[in-house]
Structure 1
Amino acid sequence: MTAIDLGRPVQGDVIDLILDDHRRFEALLRDLRDASSDRDAVRAAFAALHVAHAEAEEKYVYPKLRRKGAVGEHEAEHGEEEHAEGHEALLAVLELKGTDTQAFDDAVEELATAVNHHLTEEELTILNPAREEVGERVRADLGQEFAAERNRQIDDDCGSLTNVRRIVAGARREGLLDDEDDED
């Protein structure tokens, strides 16, 4: 569990709930970059939110949007790949002992790059089509499912180092992560 409030929505339009989390990610990343903040607490909160949010999207949101024709298979799979890349960058941050080192700052920068790229892309290629293609009732039902799964994950300490290691290992096995960075 985390001392930082991550919100506990129980209902709402799934798009609004996802966007609320996206703004939380941005605030937490700012705090992770701030040497005067409690970086240990912030990284624990970020880890919990990142895993809970991704798991809830992959379990409920992406499959429903695909079934409704709002997004294609490619967009959903790409979203899952970007979640895996975010988890991998998160793992690097979690595995560092100290938070006052250049290695920590560098790892946070990698995490911020991966997460900010995903937030932008998801808002443009998944959330915008969902707004236009999926009715309010479906978005509200999906919001309830997303919120319940997100909260359950957080309650189950989903952001623990052990769990993030397990998720990254699984993503590697599933081929969601390349062994080498594509950009290099």
Structure 2
Amino acid sequence: MPSSAIDIGRPLSGDVIDLILDDHRRFEDLLRQLRDAHADRDAVRRAFATLHVAHAEAEEKEVYPTLRQRDAIDAHEEEHGEEEHAEGNQALLAVLELKGTDTQAFDDAVEELARVVNHHLTEEELTILNPARDGVAERTRQSLGEAFARERNAQVDADCGRLENVQAIVARDKKKGLLDDEE
């Protein structure tokens, strides 16, 4: 697994809100490392790619549908979260497709990725996670945490952050209409 040198966590259970927030803090840390010219930026981008894809796929498969069923979020919030994941995957793809990590093009692509991801983290914490903490029973959040962790870990085990997979996900998201054509 290419991201094994960098710890992206491997939760097995817990409150789904806490598990998602833990990943959000990992994203922020990895983005700081991607900006660091002295870091192994290639290893960091592979770890970021794995975490981003695994996290987003697990949220879309396990978390968003359950929160919607429990009326913690509505259809618009679910779709908006998916659109923001798609935008994040598209920005991630731009970082992954660059050969070198010591160029201005890499720095620019990392800043765009940081902009898109940080926007999503803030919005998701305010509009999805806070209402879910208040509106979804702890038992449900615990079982949802197990489902999220199981799917997240299965994605990691499948090396979900590899370039070809991210390309396929971006193509899927374009087909689903989650990305604007001009982006």
Is 1:66 equivalent to 2:68 in the alignment? yes
* Separation (CA, whole Å) in 1 of partners of 2:172 and 2:119: 22
Structure 1 letter corresponding to 2:10: R
1:102 and 1:6 map into 2 onto residues whose CA distance is 26
- CA drift of 1:69 comes to 0.3
Say if 2:162 is the partner of 1:160.
yes
Secondary structure at 1:165's aligned position in 2? helix
Q: Secondary structure at the match of 1:176?
A: coil
Task: Give the letter aligned to residue 70 of structure 1.
Answer: A
| Runs of 4 or more above 4 Å deviation | none
Distance 2:182 2:99 in 1: 25
Counterpart residue number, 1:78: 80
Aligned length: 181
Q: Secondary structure at the match of 1:108?
A: helix
Q: Write out per-residue CA displacement over residues 78-111 of structure 1, whole angstroms, 9 at most, x where no aligned residue.
A: 0000000000000000000000000000000000
- Paired-residue identity, %: 75
Please state how far the C-alpha of 1:53 moved relative to its aligned partner.
0.1
Gaps of 5+ in 2: none
Deviation at 1:179, TM superposition (A): 1.3
1:2-29 deviation digits (Å, cap 9, x = unpaired)? 1211111100000000000000000000
Which ranges of structure 1 fall in alignment gaps of 5 or more residues? none
The C-alpha deviation readout for 1:51-96, integer Å capped at 9, x for no partner, is: 0000000001000000000000000100000000000000000000
Counterpart for residue 30 of structure 2: 28
Please state if 1:118 is matched with 2:120. Answer: yes
Rounded to whole Å, the distance in 1 between the matches of 2:166 and 2:25 is 22
TM-score, length of structure 1 as denominator length = 0.98
2:103 aligned residue = 101
Corresponding position: 1:7 with 2:9: yes
How far apart are residue 146 of structure 1 and its match?
0.2
**Residue deviations 1:100-140 (CA, integer Å, cap 9, x gap):** 00000000000000000000000000001101110000000
